[in-house]
Amino acid sequence: MSWMMMFFAHDQRVGAVFLRVVPNRSQFFEYEPVTFYCEGVSHDNVLHKLKDKIQPCSNSNKKTATGSSCTVNAVYVDDSGKHWCETREGKRSNIINITVTAGSVILESPAVPVMEGEDVTLSCRSKMNSSTFTADFYKDGLHISSSSKRIVTLHKVSKSDEGLYKCSISGAESPESCLNVTDSFITFIESSECSCNVYLILRTVFTIMLVALLLLLLGLLHYGKIGATTANSCSTSCKCNCHGTGNKQI
């Protein structure tokens, strides 16, 4: 249903360019195949990715009924980064952030934003075939669930469910992926960046402010101790001088 709504929204916006990835997830093991579909562009436009520079996806480009596709038969860690479609006129699609890992665990979460009110299932996948290990799931660094089935379902997601998710199996952790929630795919197409970037910035600023406050508090405490020591020393000296002066007057 969500894909039907997405393409309906896409059709209602003339000239919209939309990128999707198959399978629909943002994390991949090395050497897995990945196919990018660019919808709403002419066939001679190709997928680009952002790394140190913009490069065309030239592994296997094909025409489709609604645009073009590019299949990468085996992805590598260096293929991690932002991917999008771009027309000759410079119009860009939404951005999909792909993470390719050489590790043993990945989190299978949607690569594109999900609609508010939908149920979203996150799956933790390991290269180890054993099914005896339990998967632990985390959001923004906090543990949210444990599952022997290695899945967790977020029911009727809302904006509060946005964040960075990861999972672990037997101590091996997956990379973090951003889950975006939107109320309109048209809004999603027009807004490329992942809103979790804002969360990362806020978290970094909060951490810096917290460290600064702690340093300030330690400084004040240290200054207070010095002040108290000086005051006590001065008070003792004054008493001694006054006592000595009094004796001289007698």
pLDDT tens digits, 51-87:
556 666 766 667 777 778 888 889 999 888 888 887 7
Element spanning 34, H or E: strand 34-39
CA distance 154 to 118: 8
pLDDT digits (tens, 9 = 90+) for 94-139: 888 999 999 999 999 999 889 999 999 999 999 886 667 899 999 9
CA distance 149 to 122: 11
Sorting pLDDT into bands at 50, 70 and 90, what band is 47? low
Q: How far is CA 126 from CA 129, 142, 202, in A?
A: 7, 21, 32
pLDDT greater than 90 at residue 143: yes
Give the pairing of strands 34-39 and 27-29.
unpaired
Q: Which of 205, 206, 144, 204 is nearest to 179 (CA)?
A: 144
Q: The whole model's pTM is what?
A: 0.69
Q: Is the separation of the CB atoms in 56 and 46 below 8 Å?
A: yes
- What pLDDT is recorded for position 153? 95
